Amino acid sequence: MSDLTDPEIQVWQDLESSARSLLARYAFHEIRTPVLEYAAVFERSLGDTTDVVQKEMYTFEDRGKRRITLRPEGTAGVMRHVASMGQEAQDARFYYIGPMFRSERPQAGRRRQFHQLGAEAIGAACAAADVEMLAMQWHLLTEWGLKDCRIEINTRGLPTDHDRVADGLRAALDPVKDRLCEDCLRRYASNPLRILDCKRPSCKALVVDLPPVSSLMSEEARAYLATVCAGLDRLSLPYVQNPNLVRGLDYYVHTVWEITHTGLGAQDALAGGGRYRMSMGNRTLEGVGFAMGLERVIAALESQGGERAARPAPVWLVAQNETAFMENMVLMQTLRMRGVACGMDMQQRSIKAQMRLANRRHCRWVIIRGEQEMEKGLFVLKDMESGVQEELDMPNLLERFLSLQLTHADSRTTSSGAKTSTR
């Protein structure tokens, strides 16, 4: 777990704000669910035999002796909410951005608190919805500037296929059963599909020769996968079919996918997604969704190199005496209320100390006011980049900053805009 602050927080804010605007274009609405839920919300929906439920949840008893879990993923909480909705639950479209918690052994790319951006579209199984979800996710990754991503897709089939797939895999693995790792021996009995997901090289070598799971499934499951692939082809989305792709959670039906990035090393999954069917209270809910790890998105962007756009430095106000100090307080408030990011030294230190602060904050502009300027009703504006100073009156000063839009919100326009106007 770690604190997030400048300068990385700027990258987070930029990613989040471009995501929010893109998701709105696809008619998704934000949902913020509690970070704590009853443990049962996850145990029932994710499945008792999954790694997340068995090994990774932070579950504890609260003062009222209730079993509480820090959310390890976002879908279950969203579905708990959807289950409480009326008719409009049928085609609800939600997205979330927030922290998730898993008690894993920390390593590169694996944290105990990490952040996910996820989206869920509720509705009956239809391949077009899965295609739309993948297209949106691909669009988002492209908008963020990620290159070298890879979509792998597979099918989980229908619940009625699960027993047949499990039996087929057990039969195929039977001759090599004694070479499976301890975890996979347990999975052989409880959920043999998960053996395909084992990261141990010895188990990986055993599963390469297995028949693709789709060949063990019903015609309906295979046809659904083919329709999804045709849709992805039509939209020219690059993907590969990976017959050994297994998503770790039990609620999936039909399409499952994972998106990886070549710059990430061993933990190369940026995102996972798929169609799911989940029982919540007395309702069965179906939907399609994905979850993307934001730490990994940022690591992937860093692996691609490239410069981060710097945040615009605020304007700094410098006062040579007490009267100018109070007048600068008034000016600072005016500028801030007009949307200009600015600041000043509150301790009324020497001019030298005030200029030092301006430098430390990488301010592009400094407004200096002393006795003479106060008498003339003027301001000295210093461009810290070129060193050029000029005298301006209030209307000109305001006009200058407002036309430059020196706000924190729009970094790119600001830094380039500021340059052009001084030349």
Q: Which of 193, 179, 28 is closest to 97 using CA atoms?
A: 28
Under the binding rule (CB under 6 A), the answer on residue 270 touching ligand AMP is yes
Select 276 or 401, whichever has its Cβ closest to ligand AMP.
276
Under the binding rule (CB under 6 A), the answer on residue 298 touching ligand AMP is no
Residue 129 identity? A
Under the binding rule (CB under 6 A), the answer on residue 156 touching ligand AMP is no
Under the binding rule (CB under 6 A), the answer on residue 51 touching ligand AMP is no
Quote the strand ranges of 233-388, DSSP E: 240-241, 252-261, 269-280, 283-293, 315-319, 342-344, 365-369, 378-383
Under the binding rule (CB under 6 A), the answer on residue 150 touching ligand AMP is no
Stretch that binds ligand AMP, among 1-9, 153-161, 292-300, 376-384 (CB under 6 A): 292-300
Residues 75-104 that bind ligand AMP (CB under 6 A): 102, 104
- Contact pattern from residue 237 through residue 256 relative to ligand AMP, giving x for each residue in contact according to CB under 6 A and a dash for the rest: -----------x--------
Q: Are 280 and 100 in contact (CB under 8 A)?
A: no
Select 19 or 340, whichever has its Cβ closest to ligand AMP.
19
In this chain, which of 231, 293, 312, 314 binds ligand AMP, going by CB under 6 A? 293
In this chain, which of 275, 296, 311, 364 binds ligand AMP, going by CB under 6 A? 296
Under the binding rule (CB under 6 A), the answer on residue 214 touching ligand AMP is no
Stretch that binds ligand AMP, among 4-12, 138-146, 223-231, 289-297 (CB under 6 A): 289-297
Stretch that binds ligand AMP, among 198-206, 231-239, 267-275, 371-379 (CB under 6 A): 267-275
Residue 346 identity? M
Q: Are 109 and 307 in contact (CB under 8 A)?
A: no
How near is the Cβ of 245 to ligand AMP at its closest, in Å?
A: 11
Under the binding rule (CB under 6 A), the answer on residue 271 touching ligand AMP is yes
Quote the strand ranges of 2-63, DSSP E: 29-30, 36-38, 58-61
Under the binding rule (CB under 6 A), the answer on residue 152 touching ligand AMP is no
Q: Report the C-alpha gap between 384 and 399 in whole angstroms.
A: 19
In this chain, which of 33, 116, 255, 354 binds ligand AMP, going by CB under 6 A? 116
Q: Are 115 and 98 in contact (CB under 8 A)?
A: yes
Q: Which of 110, 113, 217, 105 is closest to 158 using CA atoms?
A: 217
Under the binding rule (CB under 6 A), the answer on residue 114 touching ligand AMP is yes
Stretch that binds ligand AMP, among 182-190, 270-278, 331-339, 343-351 (CB under 6 A): 270-278
Q: Which of 182, 79, 158 is closest to 123 using CA atoms?
A: 79
Name the packing angle between helices 8-25 and 294-303 (round to 10°): 110
Q: Cβ-closest residue to ligand AMP?
A: 293
Distance, C-alpha 313 to centroid of its chain: 26
Block residue for tokens 């600068």: 328
Structure letter (DSSP) for residue 107: B
117-145: b or e for each residue (b if 16 or more CB lie within 10 Å)?
A: bbbbbbeebbbebbbbbbbbbbebbeebe
Residues in touch with ligand AMP (CB under 6 A) = 73, 102, 104, 110-111, 114, 116, 248, 269-272, 291, 293, 295-296
